[in-house]
Amino acid sequence: MTSQFLLSGAWNYRDVGGLRTTDGGIVRSGVLHRASALRRLDDDGRAALADLGITDVFDLRGDAEVEREGADLTPESVRVHARPYWNYRGETAPHEAPSVPDEATAIEHMLTSYTRFPSLDGARDAIRSVVETIVAGEGGVLVHCAAGKDRAGWTVATVLRAAGVTEEDVLADYLRSNDAIDPLRRDVASIWGDTQYAKLTDAMLGVREDYYRAAMAEVNRLHGSFEGYLDALGIDGGTTAKLRSVLVDDAL
């Protein structure tokens, strides 16, 4: 299994290749990647990004986050697409809420955040843009937010579901972000210092199956089905067929 630190200066990296589809296909390696923000990539990290064949990076952070934490440090050859889930002052990443005194409050906060995702115009634009870029087939696509777990997690999960990946494998990939709790905790401390922001629980810094389920339940409430959600995103059957042709190797 590839190290989550392959992109030196970032963490929570992975190529989603190898996941299974409901009809026996396998997601191709080298097409869709995910990670934390790339704002601290060093020379080795940029070289690794180029070696992976990544041509397009989607940054789901808002302008205020980018101003506070720093822009991506990618090679000039890489196209960076700003696709913020939200973009107004005072909004932070889901894991950066200071008023969460205990685990139960943290879980409730994260469930509320995930329930918002399916109705956010910015999220819809981001997911649609990622799908369109994958379909264009010009190179590898990497999706990130701040920690690479919530906004990136929902975006990648939606793309994988659209391509026919099994629910089991979508969820397994999503939950792998729990391996990145420690580097995220260090990163939050480096940004916020000895403040309430740096005293977050694992429920905030990690991911849980019920977070993912909360977003999917909202999809069904708003649109009746996952297919209805794709329609609302502007991703029709023809586009999903093209997505699958690029992203998936069919079973022999």
Among candidate residues 127, 145, 230, 248, the one labeled active-site is 145
Question: Taking a C-beta distance cutoff of 8 angstroms, is the pair 237, 163 a contact?
Answer: no
What gap in Å lies between CA 180 and CA 16, rounded to an integer? 16
Torsion of CA 212, 216, 218, 224, to 10 degrees: 180
Amino acid, res. 248:
V
Residue 83 CB contacts under 8 Å (≥ 6 apart), including other chains: 58, 59, 60, 122, 125, 126, 129, 130
Does residue 157 have an active-site annotation?
no
Can you tell me the distance from the alpha carbon of 133 to that of 127, in angstroms, rounded to the nearest whole number? 10
235: which residues sit within 8 A by CB, 6+ positions away?
127, 128, 131, 162, 243
CB 160 within 8 A of CB 16: yes
Measured CA to CA, the distance from residue 223 to residue 19 in angstroms comes to: 26
The residues annotated with a catalytic role in the active site are 145
